[in-house]
Structure 1
Amino acid sequence: MKSSHASLICILLLSLFALHQCVRLQRSNKIDMSVCVHDICGGVFDGGCYCCPKTPALCWADNQFCTTYCHAQS
């Protein structure tokens, strides 16, 4: 009887640990809501630029600004 209690406690602890890891993983994932595409702009910007997919001719050096502009265009 004692061995069955010990095995149930082990299963419970392992289940709680797995649940804890899943919750921790979900909290740590940051979804990139950027709609901009990173591109090489022919030396205009050092390190490339960010362009809207609908208007690839309009590009910016800052991803945040590009994302804001692209969301405004939609």
Structure 2
Amino acid sequence: MKSSHASLVCILLFSLLALHQCARIGRSNKVDMSACFLGDCNNVFEGGCYCCPKTPALCWAEKDYCTTYCQSQS
């Protein structure tokens, strides 16, 4: 009987922890504006290009350059 109570308590604790994490994620309204997205760029760059959300007209062929630029604009 004691082991079943202990397992129920463990399940309850894990469920509460998962619920707490979901609520914490739900409260976070911040959007990472430094994350580059893959754009089309009218085939200027092979395989597409990476653009900054704040300045979608400026795009780069490599994601590293885009990320560096977007983080400097934040």
Q: Which residue of 2 aligns with 1:10?
A: 7
Aligned length: 60
% identity of equivalent residues: 48
Structure 2: gaps (5+ residues): 22-31
Written as runs of structure 1 = structure 2, the 5 A alignment for 1:13-24 is: 13-15=10-12, 18=14, 22=18
RMSD: 2.8
TM-score calculated relative to the size of structure 1: 0.54
TM-score calculated relative to the size of structure 2: 0.54
Shift >3 Å, 4+ stretches: none
SS for the counterpart of 1:35 is: coil
Which one has the largest radius of gyration? 1
